[in-house]
Structure 1
Amino acid sequence: MSRYDIHNPISIEEHGKRMEGKTFRELSESNESYIAEEKRAYEIIKNNKGNLGQLVEEIHFGYKPNSNAAPDFEEAGVELKVTPYYKLKRKGYSAKERLVLNIINYETIISETFKTSSFWKKNSLILLVHYLYQKDKDKLDFLITNVQLFEFPDSDFKIIQDDWHTIKEKVKEGKAHELSERDTNYLSACTKGATSKTSMRTQPNSPEKAKQRAFSLKASYMTYILNNYILPKNPTYTKRDSILDKNTDKTLDQYILDTFERYYSLKESQLIQLLDIDASNKPKNLKALIAARIFNSNLNDLKQAEEIEKANIKVKTMRLEKNGKIKESMSFPHFSYLDIINQTWENSDLRNMFLETKFLFIIFQKDGQEFKLEKAMFWKLPEHDLENDVRKVWEATVHRIRNGRASDLPSKSDNKFNVAHVRPHGQNKYDTLPTPDGGEEVKKCFWLNNDYILGQISE
């Protein structure tokens, strides 16, 4: 007799919850033939590059993994996904990675509708199995903490649907080779395959081959789900401050830009009055506060908006001087001298950040004694600049750190680097990190050059 009803999602979830509080090793030992199962667990890990999902499928649910278009539990319409998260150094938790779903079939997606699509049929109801990733532990000793059914909430459905249509239309136009995770907000098209050579696929309406890609939920989206739905064990996740009008037919991006446009050319004093902002104490974040209040009177920073957080949109307010110049370059989080030397360019934190991140620039320009809202725009670092100019700066940085020159990294004054540079990004000269040669060096980060950014927003 089956340990769960294969036709019933609740029964499947209840059986899944029996894994909570167990490590993957304990999961194998809890079976009647635990010695054989533990041996099988090691075989799965060894032969499938640490595939803990297959271990859950075979040992706990008792079925062989497959690549069918149907959900894993076809009779119940439930897809199984095992996904890691980790504890942040300061506080809170983050998804470790995106959640990869099914492969995108370039040939068939162009004739699908969203509701009849292979994506929706396979992923409309997902059993999420979350485990706590800990760097120094054996994979079998990771702890399974939460098992919960997940359906896309109404507030996300439209954006997910818009993202799917964006991917479909690009394929339909013969541009599958141009797909990028930055094209969309929650649902993205990530590369899928061991190497680029073996994962190239034909596409309709173009002779050019495209990398194989899969639908995936962005790590930022999974982090939001984790912290507002999974870990609190909510039947539906807690809704935060939203910026999207639920009655709009526009995409998230278009809605944001159109909303900003209504306030173009207004000075700060006018915006303060119009949006009923208390600026009596002259807040340092006034421009960010104005941008947030344009959408929601409860928001103090647009970065805190639910949709912005899920979509991993990085909001940057900028100041143009009267002459149209930008004084400041754009900074990013500091890097670890010890970690960066163990990365390759292809798997580097910097490259992945730019490949997965879309920026929202909110631009104010000096007008007399005040600043006025000039424009807002979405921006992605062009891949050509990423794979050439930014790569050169990154490689020079790594080379110098490896050779004991962490104090002498590529600077803005170096004419070889026209897009980016490195400089300190610590609180003061005592805010340091260890270097590979046993020393200490002030925290540093990558910056995009101010003149490069000016050229990008002026195009």
Structure 2
Amino acid sequence: MAASIETAVKQWADDQIRDLGWHIIASENETADPSIDQSLKSNPSKTGGNGGGRPDFTIMLDNGEKTRVTFIYYLLGGTVMPIPSHHITESDLLRRLNAAVDKTLGELDVKGEFDSVKQFPKKTGVAGNVIENSVIGYPSDNAQRPDLSVDGRLVEVKTTGLRYKKGKARNASIPYEAKEPMSITAVSPDKIVEETFYDSDFWDKIANLLLVFYLYDSDKTVTASQYANFPVLGYDFVHLTQSEIEILQQDWLLIQDFIRDVQARGIAPNDGYPALSSALRKDLMFLDTAPKWPHHPRIRFKRTVVSTIAERYFTNRVEADDTNIASYSEFDQRLHNAAKKYHGMTVRQLLDALNITWKPTAAGDVSKSIAETIVCTIFGSPHAKFASVPLFKEMGIKPKTLVLSKNGGRTEDTKFSGMDVMSWGNEDDEFTDSEIYNYFAETQFLVSVFKEPSTDAKLLDNVFLGFKRYSFSDAFIRSKVQRLWDHTRTLLNTDQLKVSYMYTATGQQRFSPKTKLPMTETNLMKSADNDVFVRGTGIDGKDKSLIVHGIATYRHQDIWVKGTTMVKLLENEAYL
């Protein structure tokens, strides 16, 4: 064995091979077969020399017809046999983790992690360091191998933050969601092109994954030392379903194919690799990559995937996937087939063809969300909402409906809800860490496109044109979306947010026809100011709980994209 490999490593590997029941007929320095010795002398050694490098194990496989020789080399931290340097029994590990639940990270820190970050308020990774160093008891490292050997089973440890869901009661049955995507492992371009999925660094990291959850109990961005106040919620030995593994494999292969293509075409790394994140954004279902080149990107679980795993842990329930979809190409094909079959039908005809039961509104029409139900039915799901379909929820795909006028123009603006605009002033200064950036950069939108036959037509009479799957470009996000974020933060952080009463052109105060209350407006961006803007929403004019300088306005300020902008963006997107 090479002198650089520790004796303990050789002993560990020898034990694993002996446990398989293989019979040793010769030691490393003895001859099992003269032809093997001659072959080793005639070929480069494992260290790249001119022969003579002996394998640590030689396996002779004989099925009665052929004999095949296989060499095994022990490489510390190598891809063939990643060997953790940290060993622990399962009983000891469980004892340590159970003792940590409900304690704050500060209470658990016995290694002085929080003392070390007092002068570094933006330092990341402190929560993970506390779990690894103080709770489990091993030093943190960045090696591309699992962290622990638990009774001989290789286990990767990840610590991830959860937050309370926006707009949900804290006593809800599932009050938590992932705070952010979860980094798994670095993308090493020269390495990933030679790997297969099941011998990749990525698979080594997720095959046996231990997640430790803590509660990011703040609606503001906090300093590293303030993580000491966050409690540990629990831990989970993640069991990925077979369908999840298949989707992760397809995503990983797309990343591998992209890098192989860059290398095959001889494109310089600084020219080819920067496009990795944006080029695959629309094709990856469960994974993404960040940051961008020249920093080596890391493969991450999307935030929605982490949320699904957390929900599974807290409910102790695995929801079965009834869609049988393993990639976006399959997803798109299913919708393409449906669009080809139902193109030109009215909504009423679609509901009849798909046997969808519906209740008319007071106006004798259907709800605007009916397109969502139609898509769920096409995929064989009994649910009416995307959020209830396990795969759609884990993918993080959102439904949108675009109704074109008879002449092909826009009929209304498009709302993108679910963001707490009034909390943006508490966010960090980096736009790429903001809630709105992550929403627009991570989310895929499935747009059901219809055309109205006339301006006064019911939704039931709108004609189905097809489906488009859309994700916003970096250029749009960096210009239109960031402009809104910057403007809003300036108003919030400099106390310039204003709410004003509305008046007619002749100076008469305006009142709501329904509630007879005074109409108000803010100085947040409007559609006349930017393609992405803010508009308050509520049940009616009485639903105004936000008081700014003595004047009430809507607490919920939603994000909208102008209808004309959406039409233009989608014009360049082909129907599925």
TM over 0.5: yes
| Alignment match, 2:442 | 356
- Counterparts of 2:95 and 2:236 in 1: how far apart (Å)? 9
In the TM superposition, what are the counterparts of 1:249-260 in structure 2 within 5 Å? 251-260=329-338
- Counterparts of 1:98 and 1:388 in 2: how far apart (Å)? 23
Indicate the SS of the match to 1:230.
helix
Return 5+ residue gaps in structure 2 as ranges. 1-85, 263-271, 500-521
Counterpart of 1:121, as a letter, is D
1:319-356 superposed Cα distances (whole Å, 9 cap, x missing partner) = 22222222111112276565223443343322221111
In the TM superposition, what are the counterparts of 1:186-205 in structure 2 within 5 Å? 186-191=286-291, 200-201=293-294
1:92-112 superposed Cα distances (whole Å, 9 cap, x missing partner) = 221122111111112221222
| Alignment match, 2:146 | 71
- Counterparts of 2:546 and 2:203 in 1: how far apart (Å)? 48
| Alignment match, 1:456 | 569
Residues 1:159 and 2:233 are matched in the alignment: no
Counterpart pick for 2:536 among 415, 424, 430: 424
In the TM superposition, what are the counterparts of 1:49-198 in structure 2 within 5 Å? 49=124, 51-74=126-149, 75-88=152-165, 89-90=168-169, 91=172, 92-135=175-218, 138-174=226-262, 175-180=272-277, 182-183=281-282, 184-191=284-291
Q: CA deviation at 1:22?
A: 3.0
Counterpart of 1:70, as a letter, is R
1:101·1:216 contact (CA, 8 Å) conserved in 2? yes
- Counterparts of 1:290 and 1:135 in 2: how far apart (Å)? 38
| Identity percentage of aligned residues | 22
- Counterparts of 1:143 and 1:154 in 2: how far apart (Å)? 32
2:113·2:130 contact (CA, 8 Å) conserved in 1? yes
Q: CA deviation at 1:367?
A: 4.9
- Counterparts of 2:563 and 2:198 in 1: how far apart (Å)? 45
Counterpart of 2:349, as a letter, is Q
- Counterparts of 1:297 and 1:124 in 2: how far apart (Å)? 29
TM-score (norm 1): 0.82
| Alignment match, 2:476 | 385
2:419·2:436 contact (CA, 8 Å) conserved in 1? no
Counterpart pick for 1:43 among 112, 115, 122: 115
2:128·2:159 contact (CA, 8 Å) conserved in 1? yes
- Counterparts of 2:136 and 2:386 in 1: how far apart (Å)? 43
| Alignment match, 2:349 | 270
Shift in CA distance, 95/271, structure 1 to aligned 2, threshold 3 Å: same
Bigger CA drift: 395-404 or 138-147?
395-404
Q: CA deviation at 1:457?
A: 1.6
- Counterparts of 2:112 and 2:423 in 1: how far apart (Å)? 34
Q: CA deviation at 1:398?
A: 3.6
Shift in CA distance, 340/87, structure 1 to aligned 2, threshold 3 Å: closer
RMSD: 2.9
- Counterparts of 2:257 and 2:147 in 1: how far apart (Å)? 28
- Counterparts of 1:438 and 1:45 in 2: how far apart (Å)? 41
- Counterparts of 1:97 and 1:51 in 2: how far apart (Å)? 15
Q: CA deviation at 1:257?
A: 3.1
Residues 1:238 and 2:335 are matched in the alignment: no
Q: CA deviation at 1:7?
A: 6.7
2:113·2:129 contact (CA, 8 Å) conserved in 1? no
Indicate the SS of the match to 1:179.
helix
In the TM superposition, what are the counterparts of 1:366-385 in structure 2 within 5 Å? 366-367=452-453, 370-385=461-476
TM-score (norm 2): 0.66
- Counterparts of 1:347 and 1:438 in 2: how far apart (Å)? 32
| Alignment match, 2:391 | 307
Larger radius of gyration: 2
Return 5+ residue gaps in structure 1 as ranges. 29-36, 202-210
- Counterparts of 1:253 and 1:125 in 2: how far apart (Å)? 28
Q: CA deviation at 1:9?
A: 5.6
Bigger CA drift: 64-73 or 139-148?
139-148
1:129-174 superposed Cα distances (whole Å, 9 cap, x missing partner) = 1122222994334222212211321121111111111222222233
Counterpart of 1:375, as a letter, is G
Indicate the SS of the match to 1:146.
strand
- Counterparts of 2:535 and 2:357 in 1: how far apart (Å)? 36
1:17·1:148 contact (CA, 8 Å) conserved in 2? no
- Counterparts of 1:301 and 1:294 in 2: how far apart (Å)? 12
Shift in CA distance, 273/256, structure 1 to aligned 2, threshold 3 Å: same
Shift in CA distance, 431/239, structure 1 to aligned 2, threshold 3 Å: same
Q: CA deviation at 1:458?
A: 1.5
Bigger CA drift: 334-343 or 173-182?
334-343
1:44·1:51 contact (CA, 8 Å) conserved in 2? no
Counterpart of 1:319, as a letter, is V
Q: CA deviation at 1:373?
A: 2.2
Counterpart pick for 2:524 among 367, 392, 409: 409
Structure with bigger RCO (C-alpha 8 Å, 6+ apart)? 1
Indicate the SS of the match to 2:525.
coil
1:160-197 superposed Cα distances (whole Å, 9 cap, x missing partner) = 11111122222223342112373412121122xxxx7x
Q: CA deviation at 1:80?
A: 0.4
- Counterparts of 1:13 and 1:256 in 2: how far apart (Å)? 44
Shift in CA distance, 127/334, structure 1 to aligned 2, threshold 3 Å: closer
Shift in CA distance, 44/260, structure 1 to aligned 2, threshold 3 Å: farther
- Counterparts of 2:229 and 2:498 in 1: how far apart (Å)? 39
Residues 1:19 and 2:94 are matched in the alignment: no
Give the total of aligned pairs: 421
2:161·2:216 contact (CA, 8 Å) conserved in 1? yes
Bigger CA drift: 284-293 or 70-79?
284-293
Shift in CA distance, 399/76, structure 1 to aligned 2, threshold 3 Å: same
Shift in CA distance, 117/325, structure 1 to aligned 2, threshold 3 Å: same
Counterpart of 2:439, as a letter, is M
- Counterparts of 2:371 and 2:397 in 1: how far apart (Å)? 17
- Counterparts of 1:141 and 1:395 in 2: how far apart (Å)? 30
1:189-213 superposed Cα distances (whole Å, 9 cap, x missing partner) = 122xxxx7xxx43xxxxxxxxx431
Indicate the SS of the match to 2:153.
coil
Shift in CA distance, 97/283, structure 1 to aligned 2, threshold 3 Å: same
